[in-house]
Amino acid sequence: MRGTCAITLLVGLAASGAACRDTSKTDAAQPEAVEQAREKRLEKRLAQADAGSRHAEALAIWMMPAELREISGLALTSDGRLLTHDDEVARVYEIDPRRGVILKRFMLGDTPVRADFESIAVGAGSVYLLASDGVLYEFKEGADGAHVPYSVHDLKLGHECEFESMAYEADSASLLLPCKKAAKKSLHDQLVFYRWRLQGPDSARLSMFTIPLAQVVGSNGWKGFHASDMTIDPTTRNYVLISHLEMGLVVVTPAGQVVRSGPLPGQHHQPEGVAITRDGILIVSDEGSKNPAAITLYRWRR
């Protein structure tokens, strides 16, 4: 039996779905025809002429169920499936962003693993969860309801950086971890990235590079840039970062050149995750506080 949870869909700012209901016990609560109709509406929007504005309205807004009130990072698998996670417990979800359903949930370990989980990445056959203190949890993707084994990598960076974002870079076979806030005063005027190679001798796996914050901020008037999540554009390979505090989006080349810096599209209350699909859809997740948690889809304009 397929375990899903319907998620309210808004397209063109008009509601067209029901409140979230857990359908793991009854498929009748959310017939497949409804899901297919949602996907067709999204496809219709995507087929419409692109107005060209970087701040066009959302293609779809999926309201998250209560269990994902603290939704955090987003990551796409090699075959294009969307994974997300809880903020406090090592529970991973697969969400169908085109139909608005939760496809599965699985957990790390036999007992709940608790930490301040901030980001997720997929690469080289493994999934990674990142805690805010720079501790990485590595594991294999599990089936619905599974409890999977995991290993822990302490990068020993908790005293140097507060982390909220991470992405897998296939070109360097590394995880990229930008700092939300660097501890060293000498780095307060820099956007700091750590690179952790998945293979190699321990002494050579970790490195750092920086980009001047003045270049990142540009003419936006921000006091800084505090990265909430990061993804990599599947076409250009540029780094795409979002910030909750600045409500901003920044695009940076692997060489460190800032090619775009400006406000996030649409309206967001607490953006915590970002992903870009191969067919050009930007996905942003918002944690729930005063408003429900949500995943919003936009056209991605390079």
| Position 45 confidence tier, pLDDT thresholds 50, 70, 90 | confident
**Is pLDDT of 26 > 60?**
no
Contact 215, 189 (CB under 8 A): no
| Position 43 confidence tier, pLDDT thresholds 50, 70, 90 | confident
**Strand spans (E) along 190-245:** 190-197, 206-212, 227-232, 239-243
Which tops the pLDDT comparison, 291 or 163? 163
Of 199-203, 221-225, 232-236, the one with minimum mean pLDDT is: 199-203
Residue 262's nearest CA partner among 217, 212, 211 is 217
Q: So what's the pLDDT on residue 188?
A: 95
- Residue 231: is it exposed, middle or buried by C-beta count within 10 angstroms (0-12/13-18/19+)? buried
Q: So what's the pLDDT on residue 52?
A: 56
Reading the block at residue 268, the tokens are 């967001």
Q: What are the percentages of helix, strand and coil residues in the chain, rounded to 5? A: 10, 45, 45
| Domains parsed from the chain with CATH numbers | 9-299 (2.120.10)
The per-residue pLDDT for range 89-116, each reduced to its tens digit, is 999 999 999 888 899 999 999 998 999 9
Q: Which residues contact 68 (CB under 8 A, 6 or more apart)?
A: 84, 86, 93, 102, 288, 293
Q: So what's the pLDDT on residue 56?
A: 65
Of 43-52, 56-65, 122-131, 249-258, the one with minimum mean pLDDT is: 43-52
Long-range contacts of 30-38 (CB under 8 A, 24+ apart): 30/4, 30/6, 30/101, 34/6, 35/96, 35/99, 35/100, 35/101, 36/99, 38/9, 38/98, 38/99, 38/100
Mean pLDDT of 294-299: 95
Contact 97, 62 (CB under 8 A): yes
Phi, then psi, of 280 in degrees rounded to 5: 85, 40
**Is pLDDT of 2 > 50?**
no
| Position 23 confidence tier, pLDDT thresholds 50, 70, 90 | very low
Q: So what's the pLDDT on residue 41?
A: 86
The per-residue pLDDT for range 231-260, each reduced to its tens digit, is 999 999 999 999 999 999 999 999 999 999
